[in-house]
Structure 1
Amino acid sequence: MPVARKLGVIARNALDGLEHLVGGLGTAVLAFAAMFGVLITAAACVIGVGLLIAPFTLRVVRAITQRERSRLSRWRPDEDLASPVRLPDSLIQAVRDRDVLRELAWVGCHGSAGFVLGLMGLALPLGAVRDIVFPLYWRLLPESEATGQLSLWTAHDWAGAFAVTGEGLVFLVLSALLIPGMARLQERYGRKLLDAEYADLHLRIAELTATRAAALDAHTAELRRIERSLHDGTQNRLVAVNVLLGAARRALARNSPNVDDVLVRAQDATEQALAELRAVVRSILPPVLIERSLPDALSALAAACPVPCMVDAQLDGRCATSVEATAYFVVAETLTNVAKHSQARSAVVQLFRHRTRLFVTIRDDGRGGADEREGSGIDGIRRRVEAHDGEFTLNSPPGGPTTVRVTLPCG
């Protein structure tokens, strides 16, 4: 690496570290004040008054630590700090809460060591700059004060003044070398103490609880749909077949010439019942997903759609059967809505997989204005996707176009 480039990297690291230390100095002042507030509250607890102000003190500490979490997360966006879900409801729970205890430890550490590091980080470059420009103003100073920041030289003449400038250059180099390490030290204990231990777990439990509820709702809705399809379609056809067969037996007993007509009608009703039964079975798990692949199944859906539809599928390998069935359901329901409500001239289905996520996008050039509250089946699509811990977004401004995006875990 060229020397100029090395110097540029050192300078950039030093400036980043200085920015971090100065920002940390601001939160260190707040932590210093909070530290005294905690000590006063703890002392007041001896006479009982502290028990009344302890919740307020803890809220102040939480607000300061949240500010520091935001600052550290902005410095390294790829290493975001987890925040606690909420403060405990009672003081006893707060004393036992590990996140609260770690925040109190950070207040003590940052209010002392962080304050010192911030002051040193600010004093080193400022003192170095003061000494470097010392020849510009040394004659204006009293002789006893015409020294550098370490008072190693007293400037009686120009040689002494430039000696102070040399001292400033040394401190400037030391600042460039020390400040990044000081910033990392200030960051290290902040990340160690403020990264909430159970936040992710609590959030994940809440997400899984909501996902489980969505899965149960989706399962119940699917059972209702199957029951309705069987009751309104197949069952009625079978009842008609039974009635026609009874009529055929009576006609046969009377040697009626209409027996053949009745049997033909019974056969037609049987075929219709079988067709409806196949449709119900396919809606549960389309056979094409088992026999062929998801892109082939989506191509079959697109070919049957009344609106001209193009499928762009870039999928290597197979996903879990439940994931493919959900993706198929999403596309089938969305294309049904496109055909019924959108007045679109064309539609596009895009499918691709990236790492452990399957991405499905359906876009049409219709009139837009789709709203899942209007009962067009969009709410059922959302529930089905969320039941698989996926993500569903709908963008349908008035006038179009309408875009449905679905992300499903498939790792």
Structure 2
Amino acid sequence: MLGSMSTTGILRRWWRATRFLVVEGAAGFVSLALLPVGVLMAVFIVIGPGWLIAPRAVQMLRWWAALARTRTGRFLGGSVSQSYPVIPADPTFTDARRLLTASSTRRDAWWVLLHALLTPIAGVLAVGLPLAVVNSLLVPAYWSTMPPGEPVTNPFPVTSWWTAAAMPVVGALYAALALWLVPAMAHGVAGLTRRLLAPAREAELAARVSALTESRAAALDAHAAELRRIERDLHDGAQNRLVGVVMMLGLAERSLTTNPDQALPQLARAQEAAADALAGLRTVVHDIYPPILDELGLDGALSALAGRCAVPCVLDADGLARVPAAVESAAYFVVAEALTNVVKHSGAARVEVTVRTAAEGAGQILTIEVVDDGDGGARERDGGGLAGIRRRARAFEGTMTLDSPVGGPTTLRVELPCG
């Protein structure tokens, strides 16, 4: 009973390893075909024009490596981690150079090279050994039909019944070799893939430090930009209105001594100007942290934004949970800026806003997606609204992606980690 269960387990392990190696062997031939493509790509990059398609090539390399991670993780019974720098929507030459020289790109390239050289051989052995077993068992039945000058060789020439009778023993040896070697090769290939494609601990820590440094710089940039905006709003708005109030009060004071009948209308105008200045100050304070977030939460605040939007707006916030106040504030301003861009530039007749929170590791991630049916062709410009959205996202180690083909639709997606 125990022997039967053990044999069944060995056969299942062998069959599972065989399937893995056959798939990896087939994929290895694809990797082998990618090698000359990579060489041509390197030549074009050295010449110059290749950097234009370098980000797309890196993205395809990541996709191919991600498939290998999935296959390897399924075989080993766990996931193979990955860590990549973000590919910008409109990468510059500097971005392309950074992507090509990144440690993750070098790691993926080494994996493709070794995958192309090793896995086809492993796949052929995984198929060839069982076929050798079958052939060894069949040799006694057909060796005599072969021409005298072309005897069966498996692994030695079979020229007599005595040598043919030894073939089942050879088949048993092939079977034992297959039962041991195929699982060993499968685990070796899987282990090599995991070692090459999973970032090293030092690399993960370095990437984490780099991400924290970038997010800190982005937070400082966002803070500085916010201070400049507040200063500009105070200077151009409330300050000018308050100067007008002071001037009107001065005129009213002078009128009280020279022409009292004009003093009352001047005081009324000063009161209206003071009310406008107070409204401006309230707007500035509101833009620092909208009180509506405390009153109604993020979903209620976004509903108010959608209701005030000049373009018909549909809000889907069913999958939204409470997140930290700083993240709520950032999400509110992201949606506000996105809707402002839609109204000003898109020519859209409809816009949809979807906000979700989902678990990611030990924390949560807030996802915002804004889709409009406008003219498309949106581009990120320095100092523009989209650049401000990206700056806010980076301050939280988040990401922003923009898909806006000419003719539309335009899809803006922002992901904000919540802790």
Is 1:266–2:270 an aligned residue pair?
A: yes
SS in 1 for 2:260: coil
CA deviations over 1:67-120 (Å, ceiling 9, x no partner): xx969747515415779xxxxxxxxxxxxxxxxxxxxxxxxxxxxxx9x99998
User: SS of 2:416's equivalent?
Assistant: strand
> By how many angstroms is 1:410 displaced?
1.3
Provide the C-alpha distance between the structure 2 equivalents of 1:5 and 1:193, rounded to a whole number of angstroms: 30
Corresponding position: 1:279 with 2:275:
no
TM-score, normalising length: structure 2? 0.68
Match of 2:409 among 389, 393, 401: 401
The aligned residue for residue 243 of structure 2 is: 239
Q: Residue 132 of structure 1 corresponds to which residue in structure 2?
A: 137
Matched, 1:249 2:245: no
Alpha carbons of structure 1 residues 185 and 294: separation in structure 2 relative to 1, 3 Å: same
Matched, 1:386 2:386: no
Percent sequence identity is 42
**Residues 142-221 of structure 1 mapped to structure 2, 5 A cutoff:** 149=155, 156-157=160-161, 161=164, 164-165=167-168, 167-168=170-171, 171-172=174-175, 175-176=178-179, 178-185=181-188, 187-188=190-191, 191=194, 196-221=200-225
| Aligned residue identity for 1:273 | A
Counterpart AA for 2:400: F
CA separation in 1, counterparts of 2:145 and 2:204?
A: 62
Q: From the superposition, tell whether residues 194 and 257 of structure 1 become closer, same or farther in structure 2 (CA, over 3 Å).
A: closer
Q: Which position in structure 2 is the counterpart of 1:324? A: 328
Distance 1:75 1:327, change over 3 A: same
Aligned residue in 2 for 1:44: none
Distance 2:356 2:19 in 1: 43
- Corresponding residue of 1:363: 371
Tell me, yes or no, if the aligned pair for 2:17 and 2:186 is still in contact at 8 Å.
no
Q: 1:131–1:167: 8 Å Cα contact kept in structure 2?
A: yes
SS across alignment from 2:393? helix
**TM-score for the superposition, normalised by structure 1:** 0.69
Contact 2:21 2:123 in 1 (8 A): no
The C-alpha deviation readout for 1:327-369, integer Å capped at 9, x for no partner, is 1101111111111111211111111111111111111111112
Partners of 2:335 and 2:294 lie apart in 1 by 17
Q: 1:96-135 alignment to 2 at 5 Å?
A: 124-125=129-130, 127-134=132-139, 135=141
* Alpha carbons of structure 1 residues 307 and 121: separation in structure 2 relative to 1, 3 Å: closer
- 1:216 Cα shift? 1.5
Contact 1:214 1:387 in 2 (8 A): yes
2:347 aligns with 343
**Which residue identity does 1:76 align to in structure 2?**
T
Alignment of 1:273-312 (within 5 A): 273-312=277-316
The 3-state SS of whatever aligns with 1:137 is helix
Flag the structure with larger Rg: 1
DSSP 3-state at the match of 2:328 = helix
Q: Which amino acid aligns with 2:243?
A: V
Task: Report the Cα distance in structure 2 between the residues aligned to 1:346 and 1:81, rounded to whole angstroms.
Answer: 38
Q: Deviations over 1:249-279 (max 9, x none)?
A: 1212335201110111011011101111111
Query: Aligned pair 1:76/2:80, yes or no?
Result: no
Q: What RMSD over aligned residues (CA atoms) do the two structures have, in Å? A: 4.2
Q: Does the CA contact (< 8 Å) of 2:249 and 2:267 recur in 1?
A: yes
Cα displacement (A) at 1:4? 11
CA distance in 2, matches of 1:118, 1:401: 45
Structure 2: distance between partners of 1:142 and 1:394: 73
Could you tell me how far 1:237 is from its partner in structure 2? 0.6
Q: Within 1, Cα distance between the matches of 2:317 and 2:292?
A: 16
Q: What SS does the aligned partner of 1:218 have? A: helix
CA distance in 2, matches of 1:184, 1:337: 53
Gaps of 5+ in 2: 1-6, 32-60, 74-78, 85-118
Question: Aligned partners of 1:22 and 1:342: how far apart in 2?
Answer: 47
Q: Work out the CA distance in 1 between the residues paired with 2:307 and 2:222.
A: 27
Instruction: Look up the SS of the partner of 1:358 in the other structure.
Output: strand
2: CA distance between counterparts of 1:321 and 1:142?
88
Residues 322 and 166 (structure 1), Cα distance of their counterparts in 2 relative to 1, 3 Å cut: same
SS at match of 2:378: coil
C-alpha distance in 2 between matches for 1:238 and 1:335 = 31
